[in-house]
Structure 1
């Protein structure tokens, strides 16, 4: 992937950081604790073991500088804990004798800006998260990061290697340049198809049955609006809320999107998929998408789709759900954690339930697959201990999860919904089918096939929350409700469902995409939204498709097809 686009960003940063001074790095090889090795030979032996095994402990404390990706509300860490001193850093210190020293802590766009600045200054921390493939490409091409091949082979545990293998070769291929592993990827587990989340208490009040199809769901939403079971007042109950993106980005599932509606017409916008002839095509310009847009426009005209969706932000959508003004949205299995936990806390009488809508005549549901990777961990070129990142990942996602089952502090983190950004490396590593694995293990315990002690630490934390919910459903905390509804109710639906996976084939950026994709994305978004709201006729879709191919789409399609060969 060309790095020219990112080079422009670097040049911009150089011009804007004249007066900004990034904190200097301390000597990472200076011990902060006395060595336990009493002779040079013992020290060298201990250091060799540490440098070549997943869990080998360094003979002296190793402090590494870190560019820290943080989260909102201090990542929900308990009061008094910091990104340099919490249960994760403590277990890493105990097992590996390592400690992070954060040279910056930032979230979202501010984090990206900080990363761009340290790259521009050529003053990288020892370790940092990279969130963009352009950045990773730039770092590789400019020889700014360490080759992690030997570190991966020697210091990544076999369990973690097997986790990566569960995604096939695609996940490691994306961080491999000239047969060398240059970064460690975060995994992105499969969420399955989006569910429609509905106010079951409203349905019961109106005597409505569970929906099976899109038309069933539309009738329920219609009844919500017309009969006002939430007592919002005439005209104040909002229909199906939706994000202005309308559907998830390439390879991603999202909340408040209409992917299931598109899938009901065999359409998969924003995805590179195979058509009926086996050719790689862009889903947004296929005739099936036109049919789906026609139906979504009808939903909008009737008010089943929120007629003010163009003006809604995510925060506003959440507010409508929490305040009880809206009783329907599409979202993944984890929607109980956000936004529904807050909705149930605000109104314990609100009964939200998930349903999977069939998109095919045989009752099955089609959905597109997801990109298998998320962020990337990189190590500064010249850092003496590049293996440290593989060792940290092995401790957090193998040892802690499968061996350290009595670690109550980590269990409490899961119960408190402490965000993954609390970890020094703000990432997650888990099996591609982790959702099904976890549901299966929990189900075995609740059915008496297995014992709670058989569960790994993560599963134990979910079991305890789910068990707490079952013992006191009427007065359960919103946290326990969210755990049970996401991990049991929603996952059972997905586990038992008949689904068809449509493979998303390409997640990268071709040469022509660098210069033209922004325009094509804007063209697509504008056309789709105008058709949905009636600002443009349905035939505008044909003009859009013709324009899309003429202004770069033809070349890009050829490039993607070459990449997919």
Structure 2
């Protein structure tokens, strides 16, 4: 399995003016800090020194901890609460004696949060005590300002056993944030295989047209041809499509990904794939990418793909499926809840089912896999209480990430918010929660409270067997895992060995900085022309040669030099 975890660059480089300290900008990647095993970590109750009076698991009197927050579209509130004042901030104060202070908040949409943060850096504003960011590039840009402390020693001293266990499941999540003198950001663990692609197919169309489950690309083509040409929706018009792709921003877009098609030919575009010899190679210039592009062009010509796919993002593409116009879409297991649940609302009687990604002509399967971390936390050099973040996150890992029966987080975060007790039993049904369901864990400093990578898919797999929950985490998972989600999660876990994960997360290399944007534009333009028939398939070979001669070969060498440096041990 291709499991080395590294993060793709997705945001622009930090303005040169934010690189405030020359010494900080010259730091080079190095080996990860030596993380102790989970059972060797000291917990706060074991005699650790604090920067303020600490008693019975909390600061007394309370301390302030400043931060900033990115507000996503799924971050919603109730009872008049805001990010600055809500059930989560009250919990932090009451349980831990930590008064969270928000310098500012900004929405994620249109990169408003990133823009606000970059402006703050350009203006040399004082950074808050703790900054959590989702994007690895942005984290590295923050590191290069010199405003944040080395955190490896803090980690060794303060991280709890469960917190260390979560990160130790994949120590390479530290790789992006290392410099020669240590680690400068703490990775935020994410559920394994959480965003990895499976296929969803209109099951009512399959039944109506008497079609069999696909195993190969050839099988899938027969299904797509039927969906396009045999009037599956019965309206007498040829107005349906085979598969939804939305590659305006990326071929690997989350909810309408084409990565599974490239994976069927042995590569995944736009990321650095690990090769059999252990080196890294850019997926978009591999021979398999040419075959995948040829197939996309063929499908476009046959009307299997919507003509505006290159102009659509994954949200727009997924709406074609939920509106009943497309019969197949690739995306994560959690799409069963959103947005695919809208299909039944929009098209009465419609059904969908999860399927494995198809095999290519040589029996290959592949898909872009998500990383085992979702971002990073940085701690200000001037923070008065740098250990306070660990007091906060340790509690979440010990009680939220793996709850025990009777824990305050045994069902979800807070009764009346993300669950309710009805007739003596917990439920996450929004219709049964007064005022509807909101998710306080999204208010936390690390976006989703605390996650142990392997826990979620393993829980779903066990629940899918019908044996009932075997631990409290499975009890909690069962509240949000209906039959479609469990079926999708089972398919997802069966495909775990097919995932390609980005293997390069270091700060941009020297040649990436000078040539990267031009190479990306060349790639995007060439691929679009091939898919739409504006250039012959052999244009791909010219693209590869141009990519290599225009900086690609140098970048490949630089990427591999870095990769060797972090894999020495």
What TM-score, normalized by structure 2, do the two folds share? 0.80
Find the aligned partners of 1:409 and 1:427 in 2 and give their Cα distance.
10
Aligned equivalent of 1:385: 385
Deviation per CA, 1:33-77: give whole Å up to 9, x if none: xxxxxxxxxxxx99946869998300112222221111226x133
Closer/same/farther in 2, CA of residues 97 and 243 from structure 1, 3 Å limit: same
Match of 2:254 in 1: 254
Partner of 2:425: none
1:461 CA displacement: 3.2
Q: From 473, 489, 493, give the equivalent of 2:491.
A: 493
Matched ranges for 1:30-69 at <5 A? 48=49, 56-69=57-70
Give the 5 Å matches for 1:170-209: 170-191=172-193, 193-209=196-212
1:188 Cα shift? 3.6
1:268-279 pair list within 5 angstroms: 268-275=268-275, 279=279
Offset, 1:230: 2.0
Residue equivalent to 2:444: 423
- SS, match of residue 344 in structure 2: helix
Instruction: Identify which of 119, 130, 153 aligns with 1:127.
Output: 130
Partner residue of 2:478? Answer: 463
Contact 1:100 1:424 in 2 (8 A): no
Q: Partner of 2:487: helix, strand, or coil? A: helix
2:162 is matched with 159
Decide whether aligned partners of structure 1 residues 361 and 225 sit closer, same or farther in structure 2, where only a CA change above 3 A counts: closer
CA contact (8 A) 1:77 1:422 kept: no
Q: Secondary structure at the match of 1:63?
A: strand
The aligned runs of 1:287-306 (5 Å cut-off) are: 287-306=287-306
Give the aligned partner of residue 447 of structure 1.
467
C-alpha distance after superposition, 1:487-514 (max 9, x if no partner): x101112334584455643233211101
Paired position in structure 2 for 1:354: 354
> Aligned equivalents of 1:55 and 1:230: distance in 2?
63
Partner of 1:432: 453
Paired position in structure 2 for 1:217: 220
The more displaced of 294-303 and 419-428 is 419-428
List runs of 5+ in structure 2 lacking aligned partners: 1-6, 21-45, 420-427, 429-436, 565-569
CA distance in 1, matches of 2:78, 2:392: 22
C-alpha displacement of 1:247: 5.7
Residue matched to 1:507: 505
Counterparts in 2 of 1:526 and 1:408: CA distance versus 1, 3 Å:
closer
Displacement of 1:407 in angstroms is 5.6
CA contact (8 A) 2:529 2:535 kept: yes
Provide the rounded CA distance (Å) in 1 between the counterparts of 2:559 and 2:51. Answer: 43
SS in 1 for 2:491: helix
Q: CA deviation at 1:379?
A: 2.2
Cross-structure match for 2:113: 111
CA deviations on 1:245-281 (whole Å, 9 max, x unpaired) are 58655xxx72212111111122222222244565432
Report if the CA contact (8 A) 2:413-2:440 is conserved: no
* Partner residue, 2:344: 344
Determine the C-alpha separation between the residues in 2 that align with 1:260 and 1:408.
33
Structure-2 separation of matches of 1:498 and 1:151:
34
Residue 229 in 1 paired to residue 244 in 2? Answer: no
The 1:398–1:232 alpha-carbon spacing in structure 2 relative to 1, beyond 3 Å, is: farther
Q: Deviations over 1:126-149 (max 9, x none)?
A: 222234445434443443123333
Distance 1:271 1:53 in 2: 46
How many residue pairs get matched?
505
Residue 413 of structure 1 corresponds to which residue in structure 2?
418
Q: CA deviation at 1:354?
A: 0.8
Relative to structure 1, the CA distance from residue 350 to residue 396 in structure 2 (aligned partners, 3 Å threshold; closer, same or farther) is farther
8 Å contact from structure 2 (residues 244, 317) kept in 1: yes
SS state of the match for residue 244, structure 2? coil
Asked if 1:147 corresponds to 2:150, the answer is yes
**Distance in 1 (alpha carbons) for counterparts of 2:523 and 2:79:** 46
Q: Tell me, yes or no, if the aligned pair for 1:50 and 1:58 is still in contact at 8 Å.
A: no
Q: How does 1:83-122 map to 2 (within 5 A)?
A: 83-108=83-108, 109-120=111-122, 121-122=124-125
Shift of 1:465: 4.2
Instruction: Give me the whole-angstrom Cα distance separating, in 2, the residues matched to 1:433 and 1:406.
Output: 18
* Residues 67, 102 of structure 2: 8 Å contact kept: yes
Alignment CA distance shift 1:257-1:542 (3 Å): same
Shift, 1:418, TM fit: 2.6
Q: Distance in 2 between matches of 1:208 and 1:134?
A: 45
Structure 1: distance between partners of 2:410 and 2:189: 25
CA distance in structure 1 between the partners assigned to 2:131 and 2:287 by the alignment:
44
Cα-to-partner distance string for 1:66-98 (whole Å, 9 max, x where unaligned): 21111226x133342321333332332232111
Q: Is the CA contact 1:248–1:254 (under 8 Å) kept in the aligned structure 2?
A: no
Change (3 A) 1:230 1:54: farther
Counterpart Cα distance in 1 of 2:441 and 2:542: 45
- Report the equivalent of 1:32: none
- SS state at 2:341 partner: helix
Say whether residues 1:326 and 2:326 are aligned partners.
yes
CA RMSD in angstroms comes to 3.3
Residues 148 and 386 in structure 1, CA contact (< 8 A), matched pair in contact too = no
CA distance in 2, matches of 1:409, 1:421: 10
Distance 1:11 1:505 in 2: 25
The whole-number CA distance in structure 2 between the counterparts of 1:173 and 1:104 is 29
